[in-house]
Structure 1
Amino acid sequence: MTAHDPALDALIACPACDALHRDAEVPVGEQARCRRCHTVLMAPREGAMTQIVMLSATALMLMVAAVFFPFLKLNVAGLEHSSSVIDAVLAYSDGLLVPLSVALAALIVILPAVRLIAVIYTVGPMMTGYAPLPAAEKAFRLANALKPWAMAEVFIVGVAVALVKVAGLATVSMGPAFWAFVALVLVTTLKDTFMCKLTVWKTLETRRQ
């Protein structure tokens, strides 16, 4: 077994290029960037944890509205039809298309919701000065791992492309769920901007002691 080198605990690796840097305190409002690729390593903000939790909770509420409220309304030859995201998921729930239904539900609803809950579980107690909850590190690791698979943004882009093709065949109007999805994407992006992963990891480590 290789002996653990305590000097490694004082180093942090760039998530983009793996360049090693000495860990140091970064003043609130300042940024620490990678010397090689200039990726932001740490960017602590005043009240960032409160903002992250509030934005995550807001995103969860928008998720409920986006899933169950009418998403689009189509009017063809005087016939009007409205559908929600849950209707789109259930439309493929029979026969050979069941895997497509499961994938659709997972990528645009379940995984984004799990990621938001994991962030709240991790950051919520620390926001109020308490020690992290049990398995908070695993929850935060899960939230980071799910980020590439939470595809609400891709869904909105796909809908926009489809609307361009459908616009010539029918009158299309956006329902409240469409705008909830747009707001959800914006709020989630803002939350990710406020969240400094290294700062969260360091806070988890400090509060565990």
Structure 2
Amino acid sequence: MPHHRTDDLDELIACPVCDALYHARMPETGERVTCSRCHHVLIAPKEGAFLRVIALALTVMILMLGATFFPFLSIDAQGFSNAASVFDSALAFTDGGWMVALSFATAALIVLIPVLRAALVIYVLGPLAFGRKPWPGARAAFRWSEDLRPWSMAEIFVIGVAVALVKVSDLARVDYGPAFFMFAALVVVIVLQDGSMCRWTIWKTLEDKKSS
């Protein structure tokens, strides 16, 4: 896909890695368009991709519900034991003052934003998966889901817990609850969801369905 100058901005696509500018054309289903400079995949339409992404988004919401309220870790030290969920951890900061804001930020970054992103993706792709016109505000909803992506920090939370466990395991016995494994699965599902989503194809489909 060579470089091309055009006044039609709707036909331009910029590589998100190296900012190279191209004249976009929809490839055949199953083919991929890559950047000639850095080889980043720019467009990759796949058969049934919309339904697959919707299924993964639903999985994210179900896993997050369980991962929030089921026990995450239990610690046993010198005869004292305690088990806590992610919800309990967020409430631990609600003693008063500015700690309430910290509690809300913790819950939002770990739980609320990933769930909101999944809900927005389902709202956008639901009609498109069945060949129907997009629902009102679908373009704005998809833009919000993309803007929230850097703030969805479930995977950062899991990495932070893993680092903390290295230090805590020397002081106490740590047992993993069902929510721990749900969060581990959640990280994999989120990666699969983002990897299955061809954003250029979604924008193009939203535009075509709107004008048809």
Same fold (TM over 0.5): yes
Structure 1 residue 177, shift from structure 2 partner: 0.4
User: Residue 142 of structure 1 aligns with which residue?
Assistant: 144
Gaps of 5+ in 1: none
CA distance in 2, matches of 1:13, 1:77: 58
Q: Deviations over 1:15-64 (max 9, x none)?
A: 22332211212111111012222221101111100100000001100000
- Identify the residue that residue 71 of structure 2 maps to in structure 1: 70
CA-CA distance at 1:14 after TM superposition: 1.9
**Cross-structure match for 2:108:** 106
Deviation at 1:6, TM superposition (A): 5.1
Q: Secondary structure at the match of 2:174?
A: strand
Are residue 49 (structure 1) and residue 50 (structure 2) matched?
yes
Residues 55-76 of structure 1 show CA distances to partners (whole Å, capped at 9, x for unaligned) of: 0001100000000000001111
Find the counterpart in structure 1 of residue 153 from structure 2. Answer: 151
CA distance in 2, matches of 1:28, 1:38: 19
Give SS of 1:179's match: helix
Which residue does 1:85 correspond to in 2? 86
Residue aligning to 1:124: 126
**Partner AA of 2:185 in structure 1:** A
Runs of at least 4 residues of structure 1 off by over 6 A? none
- Name the aligned partner's letter for residue 165 of structure 2: L
How many residue pairs end up in the alignment?
A: 205
Correspondence for 2:194 among 192, 195, 203: 192
Deviations 1:109-133, CA, capped at 9 Å, x for gaps = 1111111111111111111111111
How far apart, CA to CA, are the structure 2 residues paired with 1:7 and 1:106? Answer: 39
Paired letter, 2:94: S
Between the aligned partners of 1:192 and 1:55, the Cα distance in structure 2 is: 9
The 3-state SS of whatever aligns with 1:81 is strand
Whether 1:59 and 2:55 are equivalent positions in the alignment is no
Q: CA RMSD in A?
A: 1.3
What is the CA–CA distance in structure 2 between the aligned matches of 1:169 and 1:87, rounded to whole Å? 22
Which sits farther off after the overlay, 36-45 or 94-103?
A: 94-103
What SS does the aligned partner of 1:132 have?
Answer: coil
Counterpart CA distance in 2 for 1:133 and 1:78 is 57
Which amino acid letter does the alignment assign opposite residue 62 of structure 2? M
C-alpha displacement at 1:8, in angstroms?
3.0
What is the TM-score when the length of structure 1 is the normalising length? 0.94
Point out where structure 2 has 5 or more consecutive residues left out of the alignment. 1-5
- Residues 67-98 of structure 1, C-alpha deviations (whole Å, 9 max, x = no match): 00000011112222110000000000122322
Q: Give the equivalent residue in structure 2 for 1:165.
A: 167
SS in 2 for 1:44: coil
